[in-house]
């Protein structure tokens, strides 16, 4: 019997006989190994409409783009205006405000686009908007390097609301802003207790994100610091050691009582498990997949970074938006690009029947905040 309720990154000791071993015993990656597991490739084919060869090629191109991004940012210096990955060409485009920096950025392997506003200017405008009190009809806002503006997402049904209009007016005073209508307001993806699911705290079910040494990271809205956590079988795992929500949406839980961590994102019995080998940040436009206890493997694309999401409970900052669907109980689960950990599921709108969008809190921010080390293969 497949234990479909088990979380993304925790396994019981009885799984050792099935071939899962602690990270220290996992073989180091080699240059000849496949760029991704069969399960990840299968999910990308299903959700992104790719062939297997296209999925393999895209993962390879995204890995190169991720490496180029850091070099291009350094080459551009203060003229850096952001970057995004183009899945059609397999290249990274970097925006710069100075033509004098173009050649140096091209030398890194990136395509260059000249823009008016630098990333620093756009980030400053977004920070000014973050200081405003957003009404419920404003869903989120983020810097869009491709548009070279701050995008404010407004719920279509609320666009004529006086408070929404006033917010948009004040947002435009902060800098270059464009307004986009969205279908629904975002919400978190926690769920009531259901038997056979990965972990519980109180009457809430959520999903485990990524293994760290000593525990795992997950979403902050799933539990407050000190809250006890039990596993799919009802046995005690540990406690929330730190938790932040709203403002942020991250937490970490310590692991004990016979449980231990491995650098694996589970495939839920339908796809192969995926090893985690690092946490290099994927660029905008890159493919990304998510594993959660309710809807299992789902894939899509990175749509935006550093987005402020306006939940009913309050705004959450520095989120990444994706086209991946999610449903109740997927909160806290792992977002992964290739074999690189990206973040933990926070919330969104829609579902996996009709589609939607989902945000995650970047994993590197969580690791830095709590001084944790990602468990990698």
- In this model, does residue 32 exceed pLDDT 60? no
Q: Is there a catalytic annotation at residue 221?
A: yes
pLDDT in tens, 291-335: 999 999 899 999 999 999 999 999 999 999 999 999 999 999 999
Do residues 167 and 132 touch, judged by C-beta distance below 8 A? Answer: yes
Rounded Cα gap, residues 210 and 344, in angstroms? 8
Residue 262 is predicted with a pLDDT of: 86
Do residues 48 and 55 touch, judged by C-beta distance below 8 A? Answer: yes
Rounded Cα gap, residues 134 and 341, in angstroms? 31
Phi and psi dihedrals of 158, rounded to 5?
Answer: -110, 10
Compute CA 77 distance to the chain's CA centroid, rounded to the nearest angstrom: 26
Rounded Cα gap, residues 59 and 87, in angstroms? 10
pLDDT in tens, 15-25: 222 222 222 22
How many CB atoms lie under 10 A from the CB of residue 87?
A: 17
Task: Determine which of 7-21, 89-103, 150-164, 229-243 has the lowest per-residue pLDDT on average.
Answer: 7-21
Catalytic residue chosen out of the listed positions 197, 249, 273, 330: 249
pTM over 0.75: yes
Sheet bearing 236-244, strands edge to edge: 191-192, 204-206, 199-201, 228-231, 236-244, 250-254, 215-218, 210-212
Do residues 79 and 95 touch, judged by C-beta distance below 8 A? Answer: no
Catalytic residue chosen out of the listed positions 221, 287, 296, 330: 221
How many CB atoms lie under 10 A from the CB of residue 318?
A: 18
Q: Binning pLDDT at 50, 70 and 90, where does residue 197 land?
A: low
Q: Is there a catalytic annotation at residue 117?
A: no
Q: Which letter does DSSP use for residue 185 in this model?
A: -
- In this model, does residue 75 exceed pLDDT 80? yes
- In this model, does residue 139 exceed pLDDT 90? yes
pLDDT in tens, 245-298: 999 999 999 998 788 888 988 777 656 788 899 999 999 999 999 999 999 989
Strands (E), 80-157: 80-86, 91-96, 111-114, 138-144, 149-155
Residue 260 is predicted with a pLDDT of: 84
């Amino acid at each position: 019997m497949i234990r479909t309720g088990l979380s993304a990154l925790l396994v019981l000791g009885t799984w050792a006989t099935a071939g899962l071993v602690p990270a220290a015993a996992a073989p180091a990656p080699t240059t000849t190994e496949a760029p991704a597991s069969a399960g990840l490739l299968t999910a990308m084919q299903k959700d992104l409409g790719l062939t297997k060869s296209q999925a393999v090629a895209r993962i390879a191109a995204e890995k190169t783009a991720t490496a180029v991004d850091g070099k291009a940012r350094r080459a551009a210096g203060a003229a850096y205006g952001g970057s995004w990955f183009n899945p059609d060409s397999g290249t990274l485009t970097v925006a710069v405000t100075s033509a004098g920096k173009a050649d140096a950025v091209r030398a890194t392997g990136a395509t260059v686009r000249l823009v008016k506003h630098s990333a620093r200017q756009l980030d400053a405008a977004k920070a000014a908007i973050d200081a405003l009190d957003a009404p419920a009809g404003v869903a989120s806002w983020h810097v869009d390097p491709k548009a070279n503006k701050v995008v404010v997402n407004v719920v279509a049904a609320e666009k004529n609301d006086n408070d929404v209009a006033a917010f948009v007016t004040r947002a435009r005073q902060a800098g270059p802003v464009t307004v986009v209508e969205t279908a629904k307001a975002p919400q978190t993806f926690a769920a009531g207790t259901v038997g056979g699911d990965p972990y519980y705290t109180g009457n809430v079910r959520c999903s485990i994100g990524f293994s760290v040494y000593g525990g795992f990271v997950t979403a902050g809205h799933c539990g407050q610091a000190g809250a006890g956590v039990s596993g799919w079988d009802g046995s005690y795992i540990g406690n929330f050691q730190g938790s932040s929500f709203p403002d942020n949406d991250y937490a970490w839980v310590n692991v004990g009582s016979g449980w231990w961590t491995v650098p694996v994102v589970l495939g839920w019995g339908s796809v192969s498990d995926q090893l985690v080998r690092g946490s290099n940040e994927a660029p905008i436009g890159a493919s990304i997949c998510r594993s959660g206890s309710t809807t299992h493997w789902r894939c899509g694309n990175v749509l935006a970074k550093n987005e402020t999401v306006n939940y009913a409970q309050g705004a959450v900052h520095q989120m990444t938006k994706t086209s991946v669907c999610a449903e109740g109980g997927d909160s806290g689960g792992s977002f992964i690009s290739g074999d690189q950990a990206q973040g933990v599921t926070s919330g969104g709108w829609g579902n996996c029947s009709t589609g939607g969008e989902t945000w995650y809190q970047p994993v590197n921010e969580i690791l830095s905040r709590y001084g944790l080390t990602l468990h990698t293969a």
